[in-house]
Amino acid sequence: MSAANAAVRVFSAEIQAFLESLRIEKRYSSHTTENYQRDLIAFADYCADETLTDINKITVHQIRAFAAKSHRQGLASSSIARRLSAVRSFFQYLIQQGRAKHNPADDVRAPRGVKKLPKVLDVDQINRLLTPTGDDALARRDRAMLELTYSAGLRLAELVSLNLIDVDLAECSAHVTGKGGKDRIALIGAKAQQAIEEWLQVRAQLLPAQSNQTALFVSQRGTRLSDRAVQQRFTHWAKKNGLERALHPHMLRHSFATHLLESSGDLRAVQELLGHADISTTQIYTHLDFQYLAGVYDQAHPRAKRRK
């Protein structure tokens, strides 16, 4: 077996151990774990090509070369940053396990790129999306999911992982487990509260007899809904209610944050409600808010038409 193949074999075992720690100890979602796996396989392939067989002999220069190669392959700055973050976390794990002596990725950053602002729905589009349609069990379930996602600013993984016990309708709140297993209390608005109550009235219709299913939202087979199934249902309702754009569940979270910030201006409160560990992550919504204000300014002020 060549040295390159040996590198892949050794790194494969260590990558798998790292991924298991993300799943079990940090309780990362399957989607997040798959992203780590994909990025670390790309890193292992690079090491194999460069015959880098010893973890402790990988240098900062080689990590920079990996980032440069990713850039030449056409990856966006955000994708390169994610790759480097995965490699950085991987080495940190190896250090904690006593398998590595240093982290060569510590001081390597991705090239700066144009930062894309998240796509959001305006209030009219939200109202159109959430207009009640249908009264069967599936329609009630989907309406409850849409209302709750927008009302509480939930991530897709947070929505599908909710159990019945996590929701307290009397207190209008939900216990949410976010990224990295971090818990927070999400607030539930009146519309979402009503939609959940209506869904719970018919939830049993989708369950087999004597089911002990704990998931808040279930499929027609009585199982917990998957990420993919929720995405498909959201897309279905976006088309049905006349939205002329693709709808991803995270767009509702972005819309929640943007609308809240436009109304309140309280960045710290939005940070807490989103469950962001660092306020710099939340600051992306200040740019969205400024875009909104700039649009109003351009339309309203008689001499305000600014050059693009």
Query: What is the C-alpha separation between 248 and 257, in angstroms, rounded?
Result: 15
Span(s) in the chain for CATH 1.10.150: 3-96
User: Which one of 250, 287, 301, 303 is the catalytic residue?
Assistant: 250
**CATH code of the region 123-298:** 1.10.443.10
Mean per-residue pLDDT for 28-42? Answer: 91
Is 254 part of the annotated catalytic residue set?
no
% pLDDT > 90, the chain: 46
Per-residue pLDDT band for 182 (boundaries 50, 70, 90) equals confident
163 phi, psi to nearest 5 deg: -110, 165
Could you report the per-residue pLDDT of 265-305, keeping only the tens digit for each? Answer: 666 776 777 776 666 666 666 665 555 545 555 665 555 55
Among 1.10.150, 1.20.1260, 1.10.3470, 2.60.40, what is the CATH number of 3-96?
1.10.150
Is 102 part of the annotated catalytic residue set?
no
Mean per-residue pLDDT for 233-238? Answer: 92
- How many CB atoms are closer than 10 A to CB 254? 20
Mean per-residue pLDDT for 51-58? Answer: 89
Could you report the per-residue pLDDT of 89-147, keeping only the tens digit for each? Answer: 999 999 999 999 999 999 888 777 655 666 788 888 999 899 877 889 999 999 999 99
Span(s) in the chain for CATH 1.10.443.10: 123-298
Contact 147, 130 (CB under 8 A): yes
Per-residue pLDDT band for 245 (boundaries 50, 70, 90) equals confident
Q: Which residue has the higher pLDDT, 5 or 67?
A: 67
- Taking only Cα atoms into account, the Rg of the chain, rounded to an integer number of angstroms, comes to 23
User: Which one of 83, 141, 143, 253 is the catalytic residue?
Assistant: 253
Is 155 part of the annotated catalytic residue set?
yes
